[in-house]
């Protein structure tokens, strides 16, 4: 029973933090940010309110942290498929990436939308997200330009918009949306 090293403590902290964020994400997505009380999150995580404030300075800080982490994951998914974007096959990978986010992190995605429509909250995260998207749009625009498309930038935007639109409807009524099929059709539409 040697005393725990600093590093071990740090790890415990990190784990706790993630636990809380995961619980909060679930609740925020399911019940909405404003309708989820800090007490509820603490209870759901089986810790005390006090302890929660040990990890996050405020409810909004908790939200920010969740969003930041979500955007990180978002980046990871994009990086997995990051390489030249010249051939239709590579475009397909991009589209697939977008759908993967919907598939893998539905709660985060839902929260993202919900938060984007609550102005005043979370402007930092919003900007981060938008920046990421802008880069992506730019890359895709280059692809369309290479193909000789007349409006490459608008095409790229529309592709992004469409994926978001699909995500939006997917979260409102998942049972009516066949992601795999839509993914293919979108590719046919834009390739």
Q: Which of 128, 142, 158, 187 binds its own copies (CB under 8 A)?
A: 158
> Residue 152 corresponds to which tokens in the numbers above?
């490459």
Give the integer Cα–Cα distance in Å for 52 and 41.
9
Interaction between residue 31 and its own copies (CB under 8 A): yes
Interaction between residue 18 and its own copies (CB under 8 A): no
CA distances, 22 to each of 11, 90, 136, 174 (Å)? 16, 33, 27, 21
> Residue 62 corresponds to which tokens in the numbers above?
């908790």
Q: Between 88 and 165, name the residue whose CB sits nearer to its own copies.
A: 165
Among left, alpha and beta (phi > 0; psi -120 to 50; other), residue 87 is: beta
Q: Between 89 and 150, name the residue whose CB sits nearer to its own copies.
A: 150
Interaction between residue 106 and its own copies (CB under 8 A): no
> Residue 50 corresponds to which tokens in the numbers above?
């006090």
**Is the CB of residue 31 less than 8 Å from the CB of residue 113?**
no
**Is the CB of residue 75 less than 8 Å from the CB of residue 133?**
no
Interaction between residue 185 and its own copies (CB under 8 A): yes
> Residue 48 corresponds to which tokens in the numbers above?
């005390």
Q: Between 19 and 126, name the residue whose CB sits nearer to DNA.
A: 19
Residues 55-114 that bind DNA (CB under 7 A): 57-60
CA-based torsion, 51, 54, 55, 59: positive or negative: positive
Interaction between residue 166 and its own copies (CB under 8 A): yes
Site string for DNA, 7-46 (x = CB under 7 A): -xx--xx--x-----------------xxxxxx-------
The site partner of 171 among its own copies, DNA, none (C-beta below 5 to 8 Å per kind) is its own copies
Where along the sequence are the contacts to DNA (CB under 7 A)? Answer: 1-4, 6, 8-9, 12-13, 16, 34-39, 47-51, 53-54, 57-60
């Amino acid at each position: 029973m040697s005393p725990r090293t600093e590093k071990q403590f740090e790890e415990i902290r990190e784990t706790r933090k993630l636990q809380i964020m995961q619980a909060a994400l679930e609740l925020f997505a399911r019940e909405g940010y404003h309708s989820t009380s800090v007490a509820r999150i603490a209870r759901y995580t089986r810790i005390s309110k006090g302890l929660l404030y040990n990890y996050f300075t405020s409810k909004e800080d908790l939200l920010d942290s969740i969003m930041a982490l979500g955007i990180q994951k978002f980046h990871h998914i994009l990086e997995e498929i990051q390489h030249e974007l010249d051939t239709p096959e590579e475009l397909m990978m991009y589209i697939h990436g977008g759908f993967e986010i919907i598939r893998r992190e539905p709660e985060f995605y839902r929260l993202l939308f919900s938060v984007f429509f609550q102005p005043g909250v979370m402007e930092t995260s919003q900007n981060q997200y938008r920046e990421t998207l802008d880069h992506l749009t730019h890359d895709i625009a280059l692809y369309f330009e290479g193909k000789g498309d007349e409006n490459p930038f608008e095409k790229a935007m529309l592709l992004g918009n469409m994926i978001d639109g699909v995500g939006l409807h997917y979260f409102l009524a998942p049972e009516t949306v066949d992601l795999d099929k839509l993914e293919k059709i979108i590719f046919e539409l834009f390739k």
